Amino acid sequence: MRRGLVVALGSLLVSSLAVAKDLRSAVESPDATKILQKDKLPPPKKYKMPKGCMTTDKLAIERGKYIFHNLNGKKAKTPPPPGLPKFVVVNGKKKPKQYGNCVACHNIEGAKGPGNVGPDLHNYKKHFIDTGVRTYAYVYQQIADARIYNPKTHMTINLTTGLFTPKEICEITSYVVSPKKEK
């Protein structure tokens, strides 16, 4: 009886060692390393806001708004405003254009089902720009690469990752600071 138990425990130990060995080889596989490298973010980058970045152009602000409130060109329920594609071609493959989905974390005028991980951006101009608490350049940098202000930010990195162009960051920034009528 005893001997049987010892043998059983012994084989259990051997089998768990075998499992441990398998896991180690998976972690060390060159393929896994490649995937980890690919997912690594480029280092934080400080940006200078481009000349003529801030705009009151209605269509530019519409594009910024659309990027703010939508996830991508496939999920969006309404077509994008002129100048903003629904699909893009990456490595010869047609893919839905990624948008900002900022509403996942921020409430703002007209937001549907917003998240609250990030600060509420209602009346942003009145509360933050007109009071001098924030500059346009600050907001541009926050949206481009927030790690410059908070290395551990949970916010998405939008310019350094190439998710958006500087022009698109300008349009999103212009939308955030624009006066809004909706509640």
Is the Cβ of residue 42 or residue 119 nearer to ligand HEC in the bound state? 119
Is the Cβ of residue 25 or residue 156 nearer to ligand HEC in the bound state? 156
Q: Is 126 left (phi over 0), alpha (psi -120 to 50) or beta?
A: alpha
Environment class of 61 (CB within 10 Å of its CB; exposed 0-12, middle 13-18, buried 19+):
buried
Residue 32 CA to chain centroid, in angstroms? Answer: 23
Other CB atoms within a 10 A radius of the CB of residue 110 amount to 15
Smallest distance from ligand HEC to CB 153, Å? 3
Smallest distance from ligand HEC to CB 56, Å? 17
Is the Cβ of residue 10 or residue 154 nearer to ligand HEC in the bound state? 154
Is the Cβ of residue 83 or residue 119 nearer to ligand HEC in the bound state? 119
Place of tokens 């960051």: 169
Chain contacts with ligand HEC (rule: CB under 6 A): 68, 100-102, 104-106, 117-119, 128, 134, 139, 142-143, 146, 150, 153-156, 158, 172, 176
